[in-house]
Amino acid sequence: MSLPYFPVVNHTIMMNFIENVLCHFESCFSRKAAFRWFVTIIIGLMLRSDKLGVTSVIRDLALSPGCYDSMLHFFRASSWSLEEIRKRWFSAVRLYAPLYREGNYHVLVGDGVKQSKEGRRMPGVKKLFQESENSAKPEYIHGHMFGGLGILAGSVRNWACIPLSIRLHDGLQAAMEWKGASVSEASHVVQMVEDAYRAALTFGNSLLLLDRYFLTVPALEKLKSLNGSGDVHMEIVTKAKKSCTAFERPGPRKPGRGRPAKKGAAVHLKELFASRGGQFQKTEIELYGKRESIRYYCIDLLWGQKLYHEVVY
């Protein structure tokens, strides 16, 4: 499936496509007026020339200044649910977008984003550490920690990542006491896995691409729990540090008393490049727009202190 082509001289096709997508959300609203405000705000966000929130929407759509308060009331209305809109967006992406598949798996992409804020009393603002080798970035900032999720669309030669959701993941302990608050007490890493699995319930079996920051025991425990209780299967694809230590599978149980071994001999990944260098295979991949020749080696090992989850390296 591919997105429709929009001719420059005729905007009718584009307008019809946008209308079809927006009408997909109508059932999320219990009041017609709320849905009309939703359409107005989405169109305003698409057309606005700056990032000043509601003010930008009113200015660029040439609305009456009296609409300002009504537009603010929309965001606090009880006639719609953010979770229902998020699910319907997943459904719209699945229906209209040419999603990329790796075998039988859709490919989700997740990452964390830290946004600095000047206001120290804003909800969700906390002191954050920035993991970066760039000396121009301060080591610590005060701001928000967001978790972003997207899904790959297109083909191998022309990929695009369609945003699915972005949620505030950290610093919301105080908000947990608010009336009607739906704030998770889980860590940023675990919430990213939960968000991805919610999307996988719509898209089907999925691969979740993350950086090595998310390779933690809590993340793998949550993934195992979700896969065991749901109807879809999700796997995490991430990087491991070169200094990572894993374990072989335990050997046959020895006779006698005592519990069976949970792990075998330790394996230091950096030593595999020397000890098994002759077993590496060559292939070519598309890397940053260029064809590159690489060598790789696959091995199944157990990882995670006291977890010993089977991982393909």
Task: Sketch the domain layout of the chain as residue ranges.
Answer: 1-80, 97-239, 245-312
pLDDT class for 9, splitting at 50, 70, 90? low
pLDDT at 137 over 80: no
pLDDT of amino acid 185: 57
Torsion of the alpha carbons at 80, 86, 90 and 92, rounded to the nearest 10: 40
Strand partners for 311: 301
> In this structure, how many other beta carbons lie within 10 angstroms of the beta carbon of residue 108?
25
Mean confidence (pLDDT) of the chain: 84
pLDDT at 86 over 80: yes
Instruction: Please state, for a pLDDT cut of 70, what percent of the chain lies above it.
Output: 90
Question: Which whole number is the average pLDDT over 225-231?
Answer: 86
Contact 196, 149 (CB under 8 A): yes
Contact 179, 79 (CB under 8 A): no
pLDDT class for 178, splitting at 50, 70, 90? very low
Handedness of CA 122, 127, 129, 135 (dihedral sign): positive
pLDDT class for 72, splitting at 50, 70, 90? very high
Tokens, residue 124: 């969700």
pLDDT of amino acid 253: 81
* From 35-49, 68-82, 125-139, 283-297, the region with the lowest mean pLDDT: 125-139
**Helix%, strand%, coil% for the chain, nearest 5:** 35, 25, 40
Angle formed by the axes of helices 188-203 and 82-96, nearest 10° = 50
Which residue is it, tokens 């759509």? Answer: 61
Stated as kind and residue range, the H or E segment containing 12 is helix 12-23
Q: How far is CA 68 from CA 9, 32, 54, 74, 182, in A?
A: 34, 19, 7, 10, 27
Torsion of the alpha carbons at 235, 241, 243 and 245, rounded to the nearest 10: -10
* Pairing, β 105-116 against β 206-209: parallel
Stated as kind and residue range, the H or E segment containing 153 is strand 140-155
**How many Å apart are CA 194 and CA 120, to the nearest integer?**
28
